[in-house]
Structure 1
Amino acid sequence: MILILFLSAVLGGVSSKFFGHHTQSIRYPLIFAGSFLFSVTIIHILPEVFSLSEDPLEVGLYILFGFFFQQLLEYFTSGIEHGHTHAHDEITGTSKFGLLIALVIHSFLEGALLTHDSPFHERHESYSLLVGIVLHKMPAAFALVTTLRTSKGFDGRLWGILLIFSISSPVGFLMSDQVLNLSPEVLLLLFAFVSGSFLHISTTIFVESSPNHHFGLKKFLISLFGAFTAIATEYFL
């Protein structure tokens, strides 16, 4: 699981060398990933947090907090975590630091999610959630590298930044599982908090993929395919 988390980010970042700045090439894969992540949140994460909680109202609050916390993070990341590139924007050292910290926080929390106990799966067997995180991390790494490659002064530090981003989810997994020993109650609230973040990311992908809010049959079919894939992963893996 740690290796998969690490390699998904590395491969996503390295792939930017082959696709260049043509972000349209990842538009439909991004829609698929957004649909998959949204579906996993609805059929996996939310049922778990509400079924395990003794206080559903508290869980709802943490989901809401996570949603707006993600919006706050995007002040620093400008949406890179959901594949939004900024190939022509200039990134300064200060904004680079804020961007990296925000992405690391988000990825750390994602890794921590995978240590939860589930009433529906054995421990460490949340495959649908793992796949959702992987599908989300790859375009995020692609957008990060694409953005930094077009900014001055990052040539020698680009791959170091990608490395830090790539290890943040594995570190979050290991810290939560082996070091912090978080109580089930705290893990449950963390789970709810990050589910709010996932809702923000996945719904934003849908909005950005249709800037004029026009119905697109191809987008709709890809979204359905992402949802059905999430259902199959949840129930059959």
Structure 2
Amino acid sequence: MDYVVLISAVIIGAGTAYFFQNNSKFSKQLLMFSAGLLLAITVLDMFPSLYIDGGFNAGIWIIIGVGIQLILEGLSKGIEHGHLHSSDHHTDSVIPVSIMLGLFIHSFLEGTPLEVHHLHNHDVHDHHLHSSNILWALSIHKVSETIVLSTFLFSLHIKRIYAFSILILFAVSAPVGAFLGSFLEPDIYPKLLGIVAGIFLHISSVIIFESNEKHSLNWQKLLLVFSGMFIGFLISII
């Protein structure tokens, strides 16, 4: 089920970019909503679990996750939060390997905690974290992420088969992370979850704060973020 949802999110994002070329406004709105949702799930679901399982050292892994994401953004050029354009690269006829590498590693890491918790639930114990909560928040974010990636790839002067091949690799990156994560020992789970929580915290914060560079009230953006947070709150208490 996890794999189907994650791959479907990429298909929806790629289809939106392919059939609706003028998707900039929708993409930004979805990014804002997903940022609020990610932030809520991170704080309400992941953090409490971390400090129960990981104890005093839980915060260290969150910080490590933030640091890893900062490094990955140096490669991916900010595709995770919608800031990549074809003009960011030197030529529009070459597949940007470093950008793809950074994004694939990012996506792979995001998927790793999903099956660890699911397969070892009796070992991890039943505090209020549900892998499905992370899955749905991640999937909505992945739709917006894929729209940005697809729009970028379709703007390059490369064969469509190459663009779609990259999207297929991206679609399976998180499921591969989830699959490999299922083989990890349960005691590794808090560390892994802390890293992913740090990644989520950084991404959601960047999306929210960078969208308000002029420090002015934008009621539409506030509504989207708060709507995402509210949905995240509802998900966390179900």
| TM-score, normalised with respect to structure 1 | 0.89
Q: Residue 120 of structure 1: SS of its match in structure 2? A: coil
Query: Offset at 1:187?
Result: 1.7
Distance in structure 1 (CA, Å) of the matches to 2:43 and 2:102: 25
In the alignment, the residues of structure 2 paired with residue 6 and residue 84 of structure 1 have an alpha-carbon distance, to the nearest angstrom, of 23
**Which deviations, in whole Å up to 9, do the C-alpha atoms of 1:102-127 show, x marking residues without a partner?**
111111111111122453358xx522
Name 2:229's counterpart in structure 1: 227
Contact 1:91 1:151 in 2 (8 A): no
Q: What is the deviation of 1:146?
A: 0.7
Residue 185 of structure 1 deviates from its aligned partner by: 2.1
**In 2: Cα distance, 1:44 partner to 1:192 partner:** 12
d(CA) in 2 for partners of 1:211 and 1:133? Answer: 25
Check the 8 A contact 1:35/1:227 in 2, yes or no.
yes
- Structure 1: distance between partners of 2:160 and 2:41: 37
Aligned counterparts of 1:86 and 1:223: Cα–Cα separation in 2: 24
Equivalents in 2 of 1:229, 1:24: separation in Å?
21
Give the aligned partner of residue 217 of structure 2: 215
Q: How many angstroms apart in 1 are the aligned matches of 2:159 and 2:75?
A: 18
| Distance in 2 (alpha carbons) for counterparts of 1:68 and 1:154 | 35
- What residue in structure 2 maps to residue 101 of structure 1? 101
Query: What's 2:127 paired with?
Result: 120
Does the alignment pair 1:169 with 2:174?
Answer: yes
CA apart distance, 1:171: 0.9
Amino acid at match of 1:99: I
Q: Which runs of no fewer than 5 residues in structure 1 stay unpaired?
A: none
Q: Is the 8 A contact 1:149 1:155 kept in 2?
A: yes
Q: Is the 8 A contact 2:16 2:23 kept in 1?
A: no
Once the two structures are TM-superposed, the CA of residue 21 in structure 1 deviates from its matched residue by: 4.6
Residue 131 of structure 1 corresponds to which residue in structure 2?
136
Which consecutive unaligned segments of at least 5 residues does structure 2 have?
A: none
Q: What are the within-5 Å matches in structure 2 for residues 25-104 of structure 1?
A: 25-54=26-55, 56=56, 58-90=57-89, 96-104=96-104
Q: What secondary structure does 1:215 align onto? A: coil
Residues 210-230 of structure 1: CA distance to partner in whole angstroms, max 9, x if unpaired? 221211122212221111101
Q: Does the CA contact (< 8 Å) of 2:3 and 2:175 recur in 1?
A: yes
Letter in 2 for 1:165: F
- Asked if 1:185 is matched to 2:187, the reply is yes
SS of 1:50's partner is helix
CA RMSD of aligned residues (A): 2.0
For normalisation by structure 2, the TM-score amounts to: 0.89
Partners of 2:40 and 2:128 in 1: CA distance: 17
In the alignment, the residues of structure 2 paired with residue 193 and residue 218 of structure 1 have an alpha-carbon distance, to the nearest angstrom, of: 31
